[in-house]
Amino acid sequence: MVGLSDAGSVPGQRKRKRQRQREQQDAAERAAARFAPDAGRWEVLFETQDESQWNAHIRRLRASDTQIDWTAVRADMFCGRLVQPTTYRLSLFVPNAAPDSGQGSPDS
């Protein structure tokens, strides 16, 4: 009797793998466009050099602030060396304001 590991690839496995790869690539392209430099800016929400303070702040935000879009949050850890300690920074992407349609502008 031949085991599954000896049977080769499962029918449709290659197709599913290619589909997953396409979906991941599409998601990466959408994220790159969403967070492009001309689409907005990263605003620092919190920065510290104390890891326990960092973890406590993240826990508090996740528990209390339901308005944060966590898909638009970036957590940076700037690794310290002998001279500088490690720094933890939490940033939120703020999109540029949509241009007005000209209504209510002071020039009109």
* pLDDT tens track for 17-43: 999 999 988 888 888 888 888 888 999
Task: Kindly report the number of other CB atoms within 10 A of residue 50's CB atom.
Answer: 13
Mean pLDDT for the chain overall: 82
Contacts by 65-70, CB closer than 8 A, 24 or more apart: 68/92
CA distances from 67 to 15, 71, 103 (A): 39, 12, 29
Domain boundaries, the chain: 37-97
| pLDDT for the residue numbered 55 | 93
What is the spatial distance between Cα 102 and Cα 108, in angstroms, rounded to a whole number?
8
| pLDDT for the residue numbered 29 | 85
Q: H-type helices in 35-106, by residue range? A: 51-64
DSSP state of 78: E
Confidence band of 108 (pLDDT split at 50, 70, 90): very low
Adjacent-strand bridge partners of 77? 88
pLDDT digits (tens, 9 = 90+) for 49-88: 999 999 999 999 888 877 788 888 899 999 988 788 899 9
Q: H-type helices in 1-108, by residue range? A: 13-34, 51-64
Mean pLDDT, residues 84-107 taken together: 75
pTM comes to 0.61
Confidence band of 9 (pLDDT split at 50, 70, 90): low
Confidence band of 89 (pLDDT split at 50, 70, 90): very high
